[in-house]
Amino acid sequence: MGSDDVLRTHLQELRRGTVVVASLVALRRPDYGYALLQRLTGHGFAVDANTLYPLLRRLEEQGLLTSEWNTEESRPRKFYRTSAEGELLLRRLLDDLAAVQTSLTALIEGDPR
């Protein structure tokens, strides 16, 4: 496996969990799948539609997102929003992410602990 492949694999693993966090944050404001995909991509979260849509369905099944169909436009769209349960989980994930960042910073700076 070449170094580019190794890097790509590790970046994919690193980003897999952050896409969940980013989606829960972004969907504090209701949005539909394609708009969320564009917004995440615009913020540096390279996610494929074939990854995002199953993720949205899974988060909805877990009760972390709610959804409703908007049929007022010419094309019906399913809008997702972070649920109260999703917000609670998100707070815990953000706390853990901050703790990981603190630990990494300490390691990088050579903190002997």
Which H helix or E strand runs over 78?
Answer: strand 77-82
> pLDDT at position 15, please?
82
Q: pLDDT by residue (tens digit) across 71-104? A: 888 889 999 999 999 999 999 999 999 999 999 9
Contact 42, 21 (CB under 8 A): no
| Cα distance between residue 109 and residue 92, in whole Å | 26
Considering only CA atoms, give the Rg of the chain: 17
Domains belonging to the chain, first-starting first, are 3-108 (1.10.10.10)
Name the pTM for this structure: 0.87
For residue 50 the two structure tokens come to 């074939």
Q: What is the pLDDT of residue 109?
A: 92
